[in-house]
Amino acid sequence: MIELHNISNIGIGTWGIGGYFTSLPSNDNVSQINAMTHALNSGINYAETVFSYAGGEASKLLANAISLSHKKRDQLFITLSIYHWDTDTTEDVVKKTERFFSLYQSTYIDNLQFTLPLIIKLGFTKTRDLITSLVANKSIRYAGIINTNITGLKKFYTLIPDILRFQETCYNFEIRPKSVQKSILWSNQHNIRTISYQPLRRNRTAQRNWPILVELAKKYRKTQNQILINWQISQGFLPIIKSATISHIDENIDATSFTMDTSDIDKITAFRVPRYTYPKIDWHESRQGISLPMLPDMFDQDYKMKISHNKS
């Protein structure tokens, strides 16, 4: 089994693999399988699967990639993330773990993650009891929490302090709300690793050509995306990235091959989007605010509107 300190610096994300909310008949499944197989054979040993992605197709394509790779199950660290929109009871969670065992021909899950709204739906105590039971029978090794504020993180940690080892959140060059930063700081202090999704905002950050990224890309002779990945790794994050081509995977892996000067890392860390205020985040799916996963997708339009408003 892969121990925590042996997890690769970047991981495989599967949103967009096989489709999005539903599978796409026109999707190039073969290319995506080949790309993930290449990633695994090139040393990436962390992958996340979500059964609701592409109507289950994403999980199947990842399983195909694993079977085609040279990697055995115990050479990989696989996270199963469970969301609130298709899960209502602890029995539903158990069924998903059994589905994982069948699909990935495995007897265990390395990390079982729950969204904060799902934990609230199931109940914190019931979720704790379920997790401790799954750990006791060796069905899972660790647990994680997704898209949480610091209040939910602390409460969940008090229930399973020896099991909670991951929190997954949106954190990138532009999207860094103070509430997310607080959770990350607290996680670092309690041996909880932060998994960051959309670390590149699906290439949209690089397309904006922020001056500091242009400058550093030129200095290190790397792409802006490589600068962003390297910066995240330097902070101790585990960025998960969906890459559908072998060339992009090689580019991502090469982002781990150099070290930036501390002063340059500090410049990126200190950056804040000028004249931009984040919208209120809806942590509990109460429809009073914007859910965290929406922030990276709405940023460009939101930033354009706010800049225009500030000028007028």
Q: What is the pLDDT of residues 258-284, one digit of tens each?
A: 999 999 999 999 999 998 889 999 998
Question: What's the whole-model pTM score?
Answer: 0.94
CA distance 229 to 39: 16
Closest CA to 150 of 158, 142, 139: 158
Within 13 Å, how many C-alpha atoms sit on residue 135's CB side? Answer: 17
Q: Once rounded to an integer, what is the mean pLDDT over residues 32-37?
A: 96
Is residue 249 within 8 Å of 148, Cβ to Cβ? Answer: no
What distance separates the 2 farthest-apart alpha carbons in the chain? 62
pLDDT at 306 over 90: no
Question: What pLDDT band is residue 33 in, cutting at 50, 70 and 90?
Answer: very high
pLDDT tens across 95-110, in order?
999 999 999 999 999 9
| Burial of residue 208, with CB atoms counted within 10 A of its CB: 0-12 exposed, 13-18 middle, 19 or more buried | middle
pLDDT at 92 over 70: yes
Q: Where are the alpha helices (DSSP H) in 221-285?
A: 224-234, 246-254, 262-270
Question: What pLDDT band is residue 17 in, cutting at 50, 70 and 90?
Answer: very high
CB proximity list for 192: less than 8 A, separation 6 or greater: 153, 157, 164, 165, 166, 167, 186
Mean pLDDT over each residue of the chain, to the nearest integer: 95
Of residues 57 and 275, more confidently modeled: 57
Within 13 Å, how many C-alpha atoms sit on residue 38's CB side? Answer: 18
Task: Give the chain's domains with CATH numbers.
Answer: 4-311 (3.20.20.100)
CA distance 98 to 109: 10
pLDDT at 15 over 80: yes
How high is the pLDDT of residue 298?
Answer: 92
pLDDT at 308 over 70: no
Lowest mean pLDDT among 122-136, 187-201, 223-237, 284-298: 284-298
Is residue 241 within 8 Å of 29, Cβ to Cβ? Answer: no
Q: How far is CA 157 from the centre of its chain?
A: 19
3-class DSSP assignment, residue 194: strand
Of residues 244 and 65, more confidently modeled: 65
How high is the pLDDT of residue 251?
Answer: 96
Is residue 122 within 8 Å of 137, Cβ to Cβ? Answer: no
pLDDT at 312 over 60: no
pLDDT at 302 over 90: no
CA distance 158 to 128: 10
Share of the chain above pLDDT 90, in %: 90
